[in-house]
Homo-oligomer: A and B are copies of this chain.
Amino acid sequence: MSRPALALPRLARVTLNELAYAGLKQALLSGRLEPGNVITLRRLADELGTSMMPVREAVSRLAAEHALEVLPNRGIVVPDLDRRDAEDIWELRIRLEGEACARAARRASAADAARIAKLAAAVERAAAATDLHGVLEANNAFQFAVYQAADSPVTLQLIETLRMRSVPHCTAAVRLLIAERPPYYAHSWQNHAALVAAITAREAVAARRIKQSDLRAFRDYVNSIRTRAV
């Protein structure tokens, strides 16, 4: 037994593969990749300063999760959702994210709650600056802090998968939202605040209800923008 005994959870070396995956995931969740955007393995590899190998594995993973789509000899594209998949995903997000909020309210420590409150404030600041990616990033940080407090790694993973498909579908609408409708989303901040309050007060039922009605309202807004755009 020559291995240093305390290296137990031996941190796996950070592979370029993982790096590329994390980068693409972040790009999807922050709205930097939008439906229709076509990218290329070689271009991505150049940007990362690596060969195509790590990138193609990362893309392959995301394609398996339907977060990206590989067009045989044309490139890689961010897929848009057809009506049916969109409905499915909204329904599942409402169910899973609602439940995660309820769990978070039951389990969050005071420190968790404080951290969550801080992140909620950051979202508001980013929106005030009409910074699209800033809003989406801050919002993700806020939401995932809540879901992390729910202390259910598998649920967290499913939510991530769903959001990677859902966010690009919503990006255009969010851009409009923060650019043109400040009064509209003002009441979304009230929901954020209410959620933070419910979690702090350990009111699981209220937390679920707030998150679910917020998501439904957001879904309706996105749908209204999209049907108008067509």
Interface residues of A (CB under 8 A from B): 10, 12-13, 17, 21, 56-57, 60-61, 64-66, 72, 84-85, 88-89, 91-92, 95, 99, 152-155, 157-158, 161-162
How many angstroms between the C-alpha atoms of A155 and B87 in the bound complex?
Answer: 11
Q: Which residue of B lies closest to A63 (CB)?
A: B61
Specify how many copies of this chain sit in the oligomer.
2
| Main SS class of interface, A | helix
How many angstroms between the C-alpha atoms of A56 and B17 in the bound complex?
Answer: 12
Given A72-B12, A72-B13, A154:B60 Cβ within 8 A: no
Contact pick for A88, options B60, B89, B91, B154, CB 8 Å: B154
How many angstroms between the C-alpha atoms of A158 and B165 in the bound complex?
Answer: 13
Q: Which residues of B have CB within 8 Å of A10? A: 72
The answer to whether B64 and A154 touch across the interface, beta carbons within 8 angstroms, is no
